[in-house]
Amino acid sequence: MTQQVLTLDDFRTYLSLSGEIDEARAQQILSLAQSLCESVVSPLPTGAAAVVLDVAARAWTNPTNAQSMATGPYSASYGAVGGGLWLTRQNKSTLRRLAGGGGAFSIETLPASAGQSLPWWDTNAFYTADDEPSF
């Protein structure tokens, strides 16, 4: 198993939790959140702790992915942003960017010899009337 990028104290500080918490649950959520992140990029790059923390905090605060709650005359809606243990598109994008997959370069997929046997009119050469090829 890989080294954990976050400690329980990091998690507790981020969520402003004071007092007793279920440490077994917190540790399991941190481990599962890190595993999800490692499914996108492994090993996790420097700075990935923020993404792991985001995933873990979402799972801690809304573990059942509830969209709304109601008690008596009071109700609360969470909209399209639910909880649970999952990666958002932004989480995946951030992990890839941190790992160096930002797309700031391109890779030539053609071999160096591509296009060497093209007809004269399909090349980038410029001909004058004196060196025009004959048929």
- Contact at 8 Å (CB) between 66 and 92? no
Q: Model-level pTM greater than 0.85?
A: no
- Contact at 8 Å (CB) between 11 and 69? no
User: Could you report the per-residue pLDDT of 38-58, keeping only the tens digit for each?
Assistant: 999 988 999 999 999 999 998
Cβ-Cβ contacts under 8 Å for 92 (sequence gap 6 or more)? 40
pLDDT at 33: 93
pLDDT at 16: 86
- SS3 state at 73: coil
pLDDT at 71: 82
**Confidence tier at 121 by pLDDT (50, 70, 90):** low
